[in-house]
Amino acid sequence: MCEKCKGNYYITTPIYYPSSNLHIGHAYCTVATDTMARYKRLQGYNVKFLTGTDEHGQKIEDKAKEAGVTPQQFVDNIVLGEKGVIDLWKLMNISYDRFIRTTDDYHVAAIQRIFKKMYDNGDIYKGSYKGKYCTPCESFWTESQLVDGKCPDCGREVKDAEEEAYFFRLSKYADRIQDLLENTDFLEPRSRVNEMVNNFIKPGLEDLCVSRTSFTWGVPVDFDPGHVVYVWIDALFNYMTALGFENDKYDDLEAFWPADVHFVGKEIVRFHSIIWPAMLMSLGLPLPKKVYGHGWLNFNGEKMSKSRGNVVDPYLLSERFGVDALRFFLLRTFPFGSDGNFTNELLMGTINTDLANTLGNLVSRTVAMSQKYFGGNLGEGGESAPLDEEVKALAAEVIANYEKQMDKFQFSVALNEIFRLLDRANKYIDETTPWILAKTEETMPRLLTVMKNLCECIRISAILITPFMPESAEKILNMLNVPAEARGWNAQCYCADEKAVWNTTVGPVLFPRLDVEKELAALEELKAQAAKAKLPPLEIEPYSDEKVDFDTFCKSDLRAVKVIECKNVKKSDKLLQFTLDDGSGTPRQILSGIAKFYKPEELVGKTLVAITNLPPRKMMSRESNGMLLSAVHTEKGEEKLNLIMLNDAIPAGAKLC
């Protein structure tokens, strides 16, 4: 640790299952962690922020099989591929210091050593497992834990599972875990403690099945071939292997373990507050200082899930509204410990009210007035008034409250504090009426101080808002030309007196006001386009297994025909009526259901291919003598058809064989 540092700080997100692309719910936790990491860095901590991907397990193996690729290829695509996990975190400005993949060699080898250690100390033993398994959640359940016979976490069907397996003596740690949960601040918010104790510990903690033999995509138990380590054991230890525990890849364990906090979603609190500390106890390792179980983001009142088709795409929203606006919205709107209901209307409402009206307006008005009245240069001098002291006192109060709330992970409350100051500053403009002060020379010194107070309120708010909206905060500080040394946590001395000097520059519109109706329609359109883009680019008809004997095939009389006339058939939006030269001297009439694909005039003069010996057929009371050949396929979900056209040098009537 360097001398200037306040200390080390280790914060983690859950590592994500790369079984499909991440949605806004995943982004929620990562944005929160990033905000906390940035806040701690701002305060002068030496921060290690870990995130990553949890790549083993039956679900991944099944999905890879479905996709016809190896599990490694499957996860590589979702983690490293275009618009994958890494791309998303880059787009969303996630400042992680380390990214772990549980398929990384050093992690795999470390897990094998860890498993063996717990086997050697007697906490892992061999037995036989009979119970229920939820494949999507990779969770074992006992009969009594099921809800209506289904997985208590996701509500889906569970499977019977019976196999020889290794078990971890979780039951042995029940009392110590209960004590940890009930008598310390290890798990927050407090409501989660009751949930864990009442639902899992009091009914009796059973030993945990920690190996599987029915699939192979996992860390192999090296002393017992055929067994792979239960994915949650593999996953939980990422928090330590990523620091160098049981491996030589990193050397940060001493500096950063125990973790200051693990941020996790509420449905995985059980793993983090019961199983994880029990395993650490088994190995005699220090426990993380805190596990914080945040709530879930639902969409229009329903759980977000791919199968429901209601997942919200963070790419789409970031691209449309800006990454900072999205980051801000997530933490401003939903109290971190509770569930929240995401709607696009709420997102846009927050952008308009808080960002465009309150913050954006304050900055643009202040810069515009300083330009208009002082050419952007707020030099020495001025004249204070008692009102300024009130604003100054509020700024100090806001900073103190903000810090208190951030340290409790109460992001929405911390943001409320910043908005108290921003609202006060907007009101200060109305109270001081700079446009009137600007009218007479005698009131110009007062105007100068008013402008300095506004700049100072904006500067302080921008510093506090930096962890939430790093890019926008920087833009604001640039518009006020705040020097680097006045952008940090320690630069909060309120300074709007006669000595203070400011210099402003007109900058971009920070948060343009949104036309909600228009934006909702645009979002629908973008969603439809994205869904289309996800369809396989090209689909061809499946090949037929049924064989046609050669003689039968040769019976089809395929000829080159030239289009003499082509027209739409009245009252039919499908049919085109062709008059064709087939070389026989008598024009041939064919009706074809291709009006959706061609305009009649495009086809006149073209040389096409027709089967000419089909029996005549009546269509819309007209006779069709044959069929025109075309090629069909599907592209991005849309049916495509191309008539087979021959070189025009081929004469009408030429036989195709």
| Least distance from ligand MSP to the Cβ atom of residue 532, Å | 25
Two tokens, residue 84: 């994958």
Helix (H, G, I), strand (E, B) or coil at 622: strand
Could you tell me the CA-to-CA distances from 134 to 142, 146, 163, 255, 296 in Å, in that order? 11, 10, 15, 38, 20
| Least distance from ligand MSP to the Cβ atom of residue 15, Å | 5
* Strand 291-294 relative to strand 261-265, pairing: parallel
Judged by beta carbon, residue 18 or residue 626, the one nearer ligand MSP is 18
Helix (H, G, I), strand (E, B) or coil at 234: helix
- Binding to ligand MSP (CB under 6 A): which residues in 243-272? 264-265, 267-268
| Least distance from ligand MSP to the Cβ atom of residue 474, Å | 28
Cβ neighbour number for residue 146 with a 10 Å cutoff:
15
Could you tell me the CA-to-CA distances from 239 to 119, 252, 253, 276 in Å, in that order? 21, 11, 10, 10
| Least distance from ligand MSP to the Cβ atom of residue 277, Å | 13
Judged by beta carbon, residue 12 or residue 282, the one nearer ligand MSP is 12
- Binding to ligand MSP (CB under 6 A): which residues in 268-287? 268
| Least distance from ligand MSP to the Cβ atom of residue 193, Å | 18
Two tokens, residue 383: 């004249």
Judged by beta carbon, residue 265 or residue 277, the one nearer ligand MSP is 265
The span of 20-28, 77-85, 609-617, 631-639 binding ligand MSP (CB under 6 A) equals 20-28
Provide the 8-state DSSP code for 131.
E
Are the beta carbons of 475 and 511 closer than 8 angstroms? no
Determine which residue in the list 10, 17, 373, 468 makes contact with ligand MSP, applying CB under 6 A: 17
Two tokens, residue 87: 């791309």
> What span, in angstroms and rounded, lies between the C-alpha atoms of 266 and 293?
5
The span of 214-222, 234-242, 357-365, 522-530 binding ligand MSP (CB under 6 A) equals 234-242
| Least distance from ligand MSP to the Cβ atom of residue 278, Å | 14
Q: Write out 383-414 in H/E/C secondary structure.
A: CCCHHHHHHHHHHHHHHHHHHHHHHCCCHHHH
| DSSP calls for 540-606 | -PPPP-----HHHHHTS-EEEEEEEEEEEPTT-SS-EEEEEE-SSSS-EEEEES-TTT--HHHHTT-
Q: Which x/- pattern over 486-525 shows residues binding ligand MSP (rule: CB under 6 A)? A: ----------------------------------------
| Least distance from ligand MSP to the Cβ atom of residue 154, Å | 10
| Least distance from ligand MSP to the Cβ atom of residue 307, Å | 13
Are the beta carbons of 637 and 599 closer than 8 angstroms? no
Judged by beta carbon, residue 261 or residue 425, the one nearer ligand MSP is 261
Judged by beta carbon, residue 32 or residue 566, the one nearer ligand MSP is 32
Q: Does the protein bind ligand MSP through residue 208 (CB under 6 A)?
A: no
> What span, in angstroms and rounded, lies between the C-alpha atoms of 61 and 139?
15
> What span, in angstroms and rounded, lies between the C-alpha atoms of 454 and 438?
16
Total of residues contacting ligand MSP (CB under 6 A): 19
Determine which residue in the list 114, 235, 398, 469 makes contact with ligand MSP, applying CB under 6 A: 235
Q: Does the protein bind ligand MSP through residue 304 (CB under 6 A)?
A: yes
Judged by beta carbon, residue 296 or residue 502, the one nearer ligand MSP is 296
Helix (H, G, I), strand (E, B) or coil at 471: helix
Instruction: List, in order, residues 6 or more apart from 487 with CB less than 8 Å away.
Output: 463, 466, 477
Judged by beta carbon, residue 54 or residue 582, the one nearer ligand MSP is 54
| Least distance from ligand MSP to the Cβ atom of residue 342, Å | 8
Determine which residue in the list 134, 229, 278, 297 makes contact with ligand MSP, applying CB under 6 A: 297
Span between the terminal Cα atoms of the chain, in Å: 82
Judged by beta carbon, residue 35 or residue 43, the one nearer ligand MSP is 35
| Least distance from ligand MSP to the Cβ atom of residue 375, Å | 49
Q: Which residue is nearest to ligand MSP (CB)?
A: 265
Judged by beta carbon, residue 29 or residue 514, the one nearer ligand MSP is 29
Determine which residue in the list 11, 15, 36, 165 makes contact with ligand MSP, applying CB under 6 A: 15
Judged by beta carbon, residue 29 or residue 510, the one nearer ligand MSP is 29
Could you tell me the CA-to-CA distances from 510 to 344, 364, 457, 475, 604 in Å, in that order? 20, 8, 17, 8, 57
Determine which residue in the list 25, 277, 360, 434 makes contact with ligand MSP, applying CB under 6 A: 25
| Least distance from ligand MSP to the Cβ atom of residue 299, Å | 8
Judged by beta carbon, residue 29 or residue 75, the one nearer ligand MSP is 29
Two tokens, residue 433: 């009426």
The span of 181-189, 235-243, 370-378, 565-573 binding ligand MSP (CB under 6 A) equals 235-243
Judged by beta carbon, residue 79 or residue 205, the one nearer ligand MSP is 79
| Least distance from ligand MSP to the Cβ atom of residue 270, Å | 11
Radius of gyration of the chain (CA): 34
| DSSP calls for 324-356 | HHHHHHHHHHS-TTS-EEE-HHHHHHHIIIIII
Cβ neighbour number for residue 525 with a 10 Å cutoff:
10
Determine which residue in the list 11, 14, 212, 260 makes contact with ligand MSP, applying CB under 6 A: 14
Q: Which residue has the tokens 């179980």?
A: 293
- Binding to ligand MSP (CB under 6 A): which residues in 540-569? none
Are the beta carbons of 261 and 49 closer than 8 angstroms? no
Chain centroid to Cα 124, Å, comes to 36
The residue type at 53: T
Helix 444-465 × helix 361-374 angle, to 10°: 150
Q: Which x/- pattern over 45-84 shows residues binding ligand MSP (rule: CB under 6 A)? A: ---------x------------------------------
The span of 9-17, 86-94, 120-128, 175-183 binding ligand MSP (CB under 6 A) equals 9-17
User: If you count them, how many residues does the chain have?
Assistant: 657
Determine which residue in the list 89, 119, 186, 296 makes contact with ligand MSP, applying CB under 6 A: 296
136 preceded by cis ω (within 30°)?
Answer: no
Q: Which helix (H) or strand (E) holds 64?
A: helix 58-67
| Least distance from ligand MSP to the Cβ atom of residue 241, Å | 11
> What span, in angstroms and rounded, lies between the C-alpha atoms of 25 and 16?
11
Are the beta carbons of 59 and 138 closer than 8 angstroms? yes
| Least distance from ligand MSP to the Cβ atom of residue 297, Å | 4
| Least distance from ligand MSP to the Cβ atom of residue 53, Å | 8
| Least distance from ligand MSP to the Cβ atom of residue 396, Å | 35
Q: Does the protein bind ligand MSP through residue 28 (CB under 6 A)?
A: yes
- Contacts to ligand MSP by CB under 6 A: 14-17, 25-26, 28-29, 54, 235-236, 238, 264-265, 267-268, 296-297, 304
